[in-house]
Chains A and B, each alone.
Chain A
Amino acid sequence: QSALTQPPSASGSPGQSVTISCTGTSSDLGGYKYVSWYQQHPDKAPKLMIYEVSKRPSGVPDRFSGSKSGNTASLTVSGLQADDEADYYCSSYAGSNIVVFGGGTKLTVL
């Protein structure tokens, strides 16, 4: 049960797009279409932003999109806004009813 790999930080200016990667293995992220992304503001509980690779829950802006290729998933935030500044975590099913998270990426809006 190894954690997924995310870059520690990412940044972009307001209005720009930024993409955060999440890398696993063929035993977890690469083997299933069950990748999720969560947004966490400081001292707040995480919020589901993307599930099953690219689906958005009701209420999540379409500026947030997800994709996957091989063992790497990506979260793209378009039209960056100040409130998008937060920590972002990916997660994936890893078989045998196990879920693994990435280490998190701190997104800074410049």
Chain B
Amino acid sequence: EVHLVESGGGLLQPGRSLRLSCVASGFRFNDYAIHWVRQAPGKGLEWVSGISWGSGTIAYADSVRGRFTISRDNAKNSLYLQMNSVRGEDTALYYCVKSSGWYYFDSWGQGTLVTVSS
């Protein structure tokens, strides 16, 4: 069974940095692209970033490009999201998501909550 467990969320002030982590199990991690998708409280889903199995392909939403960095460590079955210069609009539940094709997301974690507030 696929398991994706996110961690690292918390409360931080605007302009600060935070690193999210996701540990995967139940599948061959280094065979799949993994993404971050976020959901602001009471709002819809927003794709944030994705990384291919070997990190050769990386993409970001316009809203985070230049501030967030996605990375992965296949030896540790782990995905990361370095969040810099955070803003209030980055407040959301951040999901780690596995994709079998880059374009769709077949397994989701339970999310880690990031709150940006002064």
Contact = CB atoms under 8 A, between A and B. Distances in A.
B26 interface: no
B95 interface: yes
B104 A48 contact: yes
A93 B62 CA distance: 15
Given A34-B103, A36-B103, 4 more contacts: A98-B61, A101-B45, A101-B47, A104-B44
Nearest to B105: A48
Contact of A103 (B44, B57, B95, B103): B44
Interface of B: 35, 37, 44-47, 50, 57-59, 61-63, 95, 101-106, 108-111
B57 A97 contact: yes
A34 B101 contact: yes
Interface residues of A, number: 27
Contacts of A32: 103
A100 B109 contact: no
Contacts of B57: 97
A69 to B, nearest CB: 19
Nearest to B50: A97
Given A36-B103, A51-B101, A98 B109 contact: no
Contacts of B95: 45-46
Nearest to A1: B62
Contacts of A41: none
Nearest to A51: B104
Given A48-B104, A51-B104, A57-B106, A89 B59 contact: no
A91 B47 contact: yes
B108 A46 contact: yes
